[in-house]
């Protein structure tokens, strides 16, 4: 699966005439080795830990490439911070976000998915993407609150 993503990026790079650089390889490896919804800063820190020479402008630039290449997805949380997560081809999931502890839980719902397309169609929109964020209090924080 990691290999598949690397191939996806290589294909994109080839199509766009991008050069292959050590930095991009490193950032891709580290990005693929995570399973979280990373902020740029977080990824930058991980990268810097093993490769101190890499600057954060490069991390910013590279993450945008990943989005264009189709292997990452950008999400803007309430509060304005941007996070990146793996994009698995054809899979659409949405997020439950705990407003206390910022924990993010992913979910998928085919019915909502279908309704979204119907709504877009009804308004004449050609749908290219969507974001749904349900905000609330997670079980752990609910429990902690009672104490």
Q: Which residues form the interface with DNA (CB under 7 A)? A: 17-24, 39-41, 53-58, 60-62, 64, 80-82
Which of the residues 42 through 61 are near a copy of itself (CB under 8 A)?
A: none
Report the residue from 19, 123, 146, 147 that binds a copy of itself according to the rule CB under 8 A: 123
Per rule CB under 8 A, count of chain residues that contact a copy of itself: 37
What's 1's DSSP letter? -
Residue 117, classed as helix, strand or coil, is: helix
**Which positions from 88 through 107 interact with a copy of itself, judged by CB under 8 A?**
96, 98-99, 105, 107
Cα-based angle 129, 135, 136 (whole degrees, multiple of 5) = 155
Length of the chain: 147
The interface partner of residue 1, options being a copy of itself, DNA, none and the CB cut-off 5 to 8 Å by kind, is none
**Structure tokens that stand for 121 in this block:** 């169609």
Q: Please give the distance of CA 18 from its chain centroid, rounded to a whole number.
A: 22
- Partner whose footprint covers residue 41, from a copy of itself, DNA, none (CB < 5 to 8 Å by kind): DNA
The β-bridge relationship of strands 82-86 and 72-76 is: antiparallel
84 contacts 95 by C-beta, under 8 angstroms:
no
Residues at the contact surface with a copy of itself, assessed by CB under 8 A: 74, 76-80, 82, 96, 98-99, 105, 107, 109, 111-112, 115-116, 119-120, 123-139, 142
């Amino acid at each position: 699966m990691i290999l598949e993503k690397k191939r996806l990026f290589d294909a994109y790079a080839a199509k766009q005439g991008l050069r292959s650089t050590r930095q991009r390889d490193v950032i891709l490896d580290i990005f693929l080795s995570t399973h979280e919804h990373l902020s740029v800063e977080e990824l930058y820190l991980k990268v810097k830990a093993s490769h101190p020479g890499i600057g954060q402008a490069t991390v910013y630039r590279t993450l945008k490439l990943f989005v264009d290449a189709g292997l990452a997805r950008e999400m803007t949380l309430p509060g304005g911070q941007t996070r990146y997560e793996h994009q698995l081809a054809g899979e659409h999931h949405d997020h439950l976000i705990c407003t206390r502890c910022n924990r993010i839980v992913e979910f998928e719902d085919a019915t909502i998915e279908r309704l979204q397309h119907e709504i877009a169609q009804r308004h004449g929109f050609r749908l290219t993407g969507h974001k749904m964020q349900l905000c609330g209090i997670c079980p752990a924080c609910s429990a902690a609150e009672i104490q």
